[in-house]
Amino acid sequence: MHIFRDPRTILILLLMPAIQIILFGFALSNEVKNIDIAIYDQSHDVASRMVIRKIGESPYFNLVASIDNMNDANKLLQSGKAKVVVIFESNLYNKILHEGRGDVQVITDGTDPNTSNAVTRYVQVIIAEAQQGLTNNYMPVNAELSMLYNPQMKSSYSFVPGVMGMILMLICAMMTSISIVREKEVGTMEVLLVSPMKPIYIILSKAVPYFTLSLVNLTTVLLLSVFLLDVPISGSLFWLIIVSVIFILVALSIGLLISTLVDTQVAAMLISGLVFMMPVMLLSGMIFPVENMPFILRAIAQFIPAKWYILAVKKLMIQGLPVKYVLTEVSVLVGMAVVFTTISLKKFRIRLA
């Protein structure tokens, strides 16, 4: 009732997510480096070895695997262990010498179109350099490019999962923490505590409205993504919602934790902004690929809940993979929810005893 009495809060909670998904879906772009790449070399001759050596020397790529069949290539791309697979046809050098051309296939993960575009350009440059190194002139190698999951190369495929993570985190964590701290600041929390209600029920009564609003926002974002940005839900809608609910619970538990640490709404907003807004935007992979970051930032990113949620959404929504491919992400989120909830409930009872 308090939320609906404040029109500004309603605008923030319901209109802001729609605006963000539209703006971020159309406007942002990025650059890449440290891309994990796998090689499927069917040739094993001087031409393929030259290209592989140059790929290994490139600062743009990390050579993570050498494979010998397409099944392994698909598994690496689906699991996210490789973002690119380069495939050399058999007898590459002999075909170049006797038939006048050879083929190299480059398969990328199209869930991030900016990364895929940059990767294909880098590979083409490396192949061109290898051509000159072999023959001192242009070597006719045809680079066949394939972009999985996003053949249209739409940037919205990349940013929709990120915006979903940011919206749910901000709505649940920030607004929940402010709601509880408001009661402390105006002195009504003591009135609630002397009522027959147990503290756990008071906490739940503050969290449930934002949980409900988050489900409304999730529905809004998915509808806008599908019907406005043309981003399909390629996988299971059921598991996408389940993972989103788990992430919402993580965000709610963090909001409760913040509410136990501060006593003013201003402090709650500052902590929420510093702890959520900037890390979610910069360290979750929403805008900048985590692989591009220095080691210390990549390590910090592992503790950002939105990072794991965004990975799971990309696999379920964009790549259309079954739930077994997101078990790691789901396990991390469940663990975070349990830890944050336990700590926040314990500290809440201690502070208000």
* Third-level CATH fold of 35-148: abc type-2 transporter like fold (3.40.1710)
Nearest to 64 by CA among 31, 86, 45: 86
Top-confidence range, 27-36, 96-105, 172-181, 184-193: 172-181
Cβ-based burial of 196 (10 A; exposed 0-12, middle 13-18, buried ≥19): exposed
pLDDT band at 332 (very low <50, low <70, confident <90, very high): very high
The residues of the chain that CATH labels 3.40.1710.10 are 35-148
Mean pLDDT of 222-237: 86
- Count helices and strands (H / E) in the chain: 17, 5
331 within 8 A of 337, measured Cβ to Cβ: no
Top-confidence range, 5-19, 121-135, 311-325: 311-325
In order, the DSSP letters of 227-277 are HTS-----S-HHHHHHHHHHHHHHHHHHHHHHHHH-SSHHHHHHHHIIIII
State the average pLDDT for the chain: 78
**Predicted local distance difference test score (pLDDT) of residue 246:** 94
Mean pLDDT of 175-186: 78
**Predicted local distance difference test score (pLDDT) of residue 153:** 57
Mean pLDDT of 50-58: 84
SS3 308: helix
pLDDT band at 353 (very low <50, low <70, confident <90, very high): very low
Contacts 24+ apart (CB under 8 A), 47-52: 47/88, 47/92, 47/93, 47/96, 47/102, 47/130, 47/134, 47/139, 47/141, 48/88, 48/92, 48/93, 50/130, 50/133, 50/134, 51/86, 51/88, 51/104, 51/126, 51/127, 51/130
Please report, as a single letter, which amino acid is at residue 118: A
Mean pLDDT of 322-351: 84
Beta-strand pair 102-109/35-41: unpaired
CA-to-CA distance for 78 and 276, rounded, in angstroms?
29
The sheet with strand 102-109 has its strands ordered as 61-67, 35-41, 84-88, 102-109, 141-148
pLDDT above 70: residue 264: yes
Top-confidence range, 39-48, 198-207, 237-246: 237-246
pLDDT above 50: residue 347: yes
Model confidence over 86-116: pLDDT tens digits? Answer: 888 888 777 777 766 677 888 887 776 667 7
Beta-strand pair 84-88/35-41: parallel
